[in-house]
A and B are shown apart, each in its own frame.
Chain A
């Protein structure tokens, strides 16, 4: 192995996730996001989970590292729900 640039997906593949399929811990309202000019979520999320697809915010909570950055940065409150995942769900750091 050697060190190289890794994309967000490759990095998240290293971590252990137990996805809560029944209850997403973050919910966004795409209609509100569409009105948001700044869209800081696109650059500040360490897992790069917020992307633009055909001009619309695309988001998947499955690879969330639970840092809360999007929650504090969200300008127009397009994030309508942000909680920690239910107990035992979400990311599990092997090393921390």
Chain B
């Protein structure tokens, strides 16, 4: 990296080389702007984690066809929802080969590889990526953000982009939001379990380029949250996401709860013989639109990606990386099109609208209410398992009549009042 004199000023400084930061840097550099990306990890991606997958449309916004060069894992054609009981599991397996036609809808991804590649792409466009530097503060002069401070170094720019992730100290320092609260976040933990590619293909019924994305309910011992499983090329990402607030109400370490999921009789055969090669944890924004700062900019500063709380969780669809990229694109477009510095912020907000990010967040604004219904984590998945157990059990006795049996099973897990309340919540939230 070349040394910077005090006088040197960039068109833009981006804090954080995740997908939001790199998308923004890529487009700004391509448009001829001088861009400095500052990343605290030794390389881009070394601090980052996903379940997870990337919805391809977002990369297409950066550069059509760019995804063909990206280090992506498998094209997702199988979308699964699994509900676990004590020693049983119900899996809804939706396979759709149109998901991999033309531009595949989504790919499983490992962020250490992907983020490093993406930052490299931004560099090729002319952005400067400085890794291994932690930004400590924003420089504010006359009410305007004019740069950043890292240790003793001060660096200046016309605009600073806060792309520093879910614990966004930049957005807080800019005064756009208060510190995050426990209701706003989930915590994801996962292991990467290495398995031969053909074993993965056999176990999940996949062709060599195809992948599975699975959400799992009933695996968090009643803690609000759920599990996930994604097939990578030579590994499986298995993890849980939990509400820390809910986890704190019981006494078992979340790490142990996750270990029990690994050993669940309906999960273990999928990973048997594998070797754990990675373990990580990360917070994720969980409250959707409610967690997004009222104001996404101030003079000289905009906030993008997880730092802005952009996330969508419908239970079947989990979006974060794509929204990060879209917001990075929006910020870049806003900066490029602005005639004056004052236009950048308002332009950014209107680009987020045009790129459908804000309207989509609004549409799903009520969904966190549903995913946070306590019974989603335990009572309902168990109820489904018990119902199917009844439907498949033959033991030579005379079974109960179907309606009576189902009523009995339902009553075991939820009261009539709870059912009505949850139904009402469901209807009113969506």
Contacts and interface: CB of A to CB of B under 8 A. Distances in A.
A66 B250 CA distance: 23
A43 B251 contact: yes
Interface string A70-81: 011100000000
A42 B259 CA distance: 17
B255 A90 contact: no
A95 B151 CA distance: 29
A45 to B, nearest CB: 8
Contact of B250 (A43, A85, A91): A43
Contact of B247 (A2, A3, A5, A43): A43
A3 B276 contact: yes
B142 to A, nearest CB: 27
Interface residues of A, number: 42
Interface residues of B, number: 62
Interface of B is mostly: mixed
Contact of B273 (A2, A6, A42, A96): A2
Contact of B134 (A1, A2, A65, A85): A85
A91 B343 CA distance: 39
Q: Which of A6, A66, A69, A83 has the most CB of B within 10 A?
A: A69
A6 B192 CA distance: 13
B275 interface: yes
Contacts of B86: none
Contacts of B114: 96
Given A65-B280, A72-B244, A92-B41, A46 B189 contact: yes
Given A6-B259, A46-B281, A95 B247 contact: no
B231 to A, nearest CB: 14
Contact of A44 (B47, B111, B115, B248): B248
B88 to A, nearest CB: 20
B278 A43 contact: no
A79 to B, nearest CB: 12
A15 B187 contact: no
Contact of A3 (B111, B115, B272): B272
A93 B47 contact: yes
B262 A5 contact: yes
Contacts of B150: 87
A69 B187 CA distance: 7
A46 B254 contact: yes
A41 B333 CA distance: 42
B253 A3 contact: no
A88 B46 CA distance: 10
B132 A8 contact: no
Contacts of A90: 47
B230 to A, nearest CB: 12
A21 interface: no
B279 A14 contact: yes
Contact of A67 (B113, B192, B283): B283
Nearest to B273: A2
A40 B280 contact: no
Interface in B8-59: 40-42, 45-50
Q: Name which of A12, A18, A46, A69 has the most chain B CB atoms within 10 A of its CB.
A: A46
B112 interface: yes
Interface of B: 40-42, 45-50, 110-115, 131-134, 150-151, 166-167, 179-182, 185, 187, 189, 191-193, 235, 244-245, 247-248, 250-255, 259-260, 262-263, 268, 271-283
Closest 3 CB pairs of A and B: A96-B111, A96-B112, A46-B281
